[in-house]
């Protein structure tokens, strides 16, 4: 083994490869100036951006349609944001773009590295791999390559397959929706959470999507017609139609169910699928492993999955007949979903 580390020009860091020095510096700047070391809104949006850049790739149509994790969504923002599936990713682009002036790196490297650093702030998340060396995109991705929540599930599976991902790898990637909130789908509402713990990378999203919803609530575009159960709806939660369909599709239902209360499978699957996502369309033989620059994640909360207060096993709607784990129910009449990472329940009071 080679234990020799090089001193970085900033006089602060050392690295196994001089090419990684810039990412050690960038990690510090991201954490102090962009994410505040938190698994909050800006971290969530940075993670989402990794997907929307990388998925602009098609084995069938070839590189003219996009070269994957190449920074195209930032470099050709005006074109790619014409695709409605990219609604809202401008926040992450605006937040990160100034760093291209500050660091000699490509847009693709910036996006994937920022996503990996962001995830390290989320309790329960794995430490993601980071490979450096994506060339800048020379053209935008074609419109229509990013899955939409209202797409039929077979169309979503086909789209993912065309970028190199199996249906179960997609399930692994959807652990991301455990730290996710929608700003665009419901009129006049922001930060509508997909699970009851939007600041914790846990298995709650896999459980909560299996709870029978209130079918009488009118659904927004892309929201599942069978919405979340009332105790979660009262807290303003929602579920994507695509997440609901994937949870119940014969190809994925058993794997989805297997994720419930299985944090190791969720974190391991997410780690591996994100490692693939981060290099879609890229020649990894020309890249340098700078994973060492990704911060070690904050410790997990280690709380088992629970039925949110006001729900329970009677609401389970299962499409796989493997045995379901026995889980406790949180005490109380209704759950409380924090709106800020510090636990505050008023979005206006969140630390900025
Ligand atoms: C079938 C595939 C997917 C669909 C249809 C989908 C759709 C969506 C939608 C509609 C939103 C809400 C955006 C908004 O209104 O602000 C969202 C949020 C999010 N998605 Fe996905 N998504 C998919 C896969 C993924 C994957 C693979 C990742 C992994 C990186 C991901 C990460 C996120 C994150 C982190 C958010 C939360 C952003 C925030 O809280 O601001 N999604 N997704
Ligand atoms: Ca791209
Ligand atoms: Ca969560
Ligand atoms: Mn958001």
- Residue pair 45/89 in contact by the 8 Å Cβ criterion: yes
Q: Which residue's CA is the closest to the ligand 1 atom numbered 25?
A: 174
What pLDDT does residue 101 have? 97
Q: 289 - beta bridge partners?
A: 131
What pLDDT does residue 2 have? 59
Q: Is 202 annotated as a binding residue?
A: yes
The DSSP result for 160-189, as a single string, is: HHTTT--HHHHHHHGGGGGG-EESSSSTT-
Q: Is 197 annotated as a binding residue?
A: yes
3-state secondary structure of 280: coil
Distances (CA, A) of 127 to 117, 166, 269, 291: 9, 22, 12, 8
What pLDDT does residue 4 have? 86
For the chain, the structural domain boundaries read: 14-146+275-293, 153-263+302-346
Residue 289 has phi, psi (to 5 degrees) of -75, 110
Neighbours of ion ligand 4 (CB under 5 A): 183
Looking at domain 14-146+275-293, its CATH class is mainly alpha
- The end-to-end CA distance of the chain, in Å, is 44
Q: What is the rounded CA–CA span in Å between residue 288 and residue 290?
A: 6
**Residue 59 CB-density burial (10 A; 0-12 exposed, 13-18 middle, 19+ buried):** exposed
242 in ligand 1 pocket by Cβ < 6 Å? yes
The catalytic residues are 52
Q: Is 176 annotated as a binding residue?
A: no
Written as six digits, the tokens of 310 are: 């006001």
47 in ligand 1 pocket by Cβ < 6 Å? yes
User: 153-263+302-346 in CATH: which number?
Assistant: 1.10.420.10
3-state secondary structure of 262: coil
Report the 10 Å Cβ neighbour count for 62: 10
The DSSP result for 197-253, as a single string, is: -TTS-SSHHHHHTTB---TTSPPPTTB-SS---HHHHTTT---BHHHHHHHHSTTTH
Q: Which of 51, 69, 145, 190 to mutate to test the pocket of ligand 1 (most atoms within 8 A of CB)?
A: 51
As averages over each run of 10 residues, the pLDDT of the chain (352 residues) reads: 83 96 98 98 98 98 98 98 98 98 98 99 98 98 98 98 98 98 95 98 98 91 92 94 98 98 98 99 98 97 95 97 96 91 93 80
What pLDDT does residue 333 have? 83
Written as six digits, the tokens of 183 are: 């700003």
Query: What letter would DSSP give residue 305?
Result: P
Ligand 1 atom closest to the CA of 173, numbered from 1: 27
């Amino acid at each position: 083994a080679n234990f020799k580390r090089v001193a970085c020009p900033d006089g602060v860091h050392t690295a196994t490869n001089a090419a990684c020095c810039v990412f050690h510096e960038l990690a510090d700047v991201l954490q102090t100036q962009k994410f505040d070391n938190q698994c909050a809104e800006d971290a969530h949006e940075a993670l989402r951006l990794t997907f929307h850049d990388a998925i602009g790739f098609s084995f069938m149509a070839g590189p003219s349609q996009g070269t994957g994790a190449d920074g195209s969504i930032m470099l050709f923002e005006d074109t790619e944001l014409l695709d409605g599936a990219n609604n809202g990713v401008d926040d992450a682009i605006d937040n990160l773009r100034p760093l291209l002036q500050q660091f000699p790196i490509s847009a693709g490297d910036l996006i994937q590295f920022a996503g990996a650093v962001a995830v390290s702030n989320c309790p329960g998340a794995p430490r993601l791999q980071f490979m450096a060396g994506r060339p800048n995109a020379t053209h935008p991705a074609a419109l229509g390559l990013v899955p939409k929540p209202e797409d039929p599930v077979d169309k979503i599976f086909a789209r993912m397959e065309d970028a190199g991902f199996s249906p179960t790898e997609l399930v692994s990637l959807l652990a991301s929706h455990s730290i996710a909130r929608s700003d665009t789908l419901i009129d006049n509402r922001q930060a509508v959470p997909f699970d009851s713990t939007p600041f914790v990378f846990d298995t709650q999203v896999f459980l909560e999507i299996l709870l029978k919803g209130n079918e009488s609530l009118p659904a927004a575009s892309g929201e599942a017609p069978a919405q979340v159960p009332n105790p979660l709806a009262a807290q303003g939660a929602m579920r994507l139609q695509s997440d609901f369909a994937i949870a119940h599709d014969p190809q994925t239902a058993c794997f989805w169910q297997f994720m419930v209360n299985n944090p190791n499978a969720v974190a391991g699957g997410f780690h591996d699928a994100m490692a693939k996502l981060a290099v879609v369309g890229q020649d990894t033989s020309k890249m340098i492993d700078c994973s060492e620059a990704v911060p070690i994640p904050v410790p997990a909360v280690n709380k088992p999955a629970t039925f949110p207060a006001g729900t329970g096993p009677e609401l389970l709607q299962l499409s796989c007949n493997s045995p379901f784990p026995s889980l406790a129910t949180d005490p109380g009449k209704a759950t409380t979903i924090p709106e800020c990472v510090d636990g505050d329940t008023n979005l206006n009071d969140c630390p900025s």
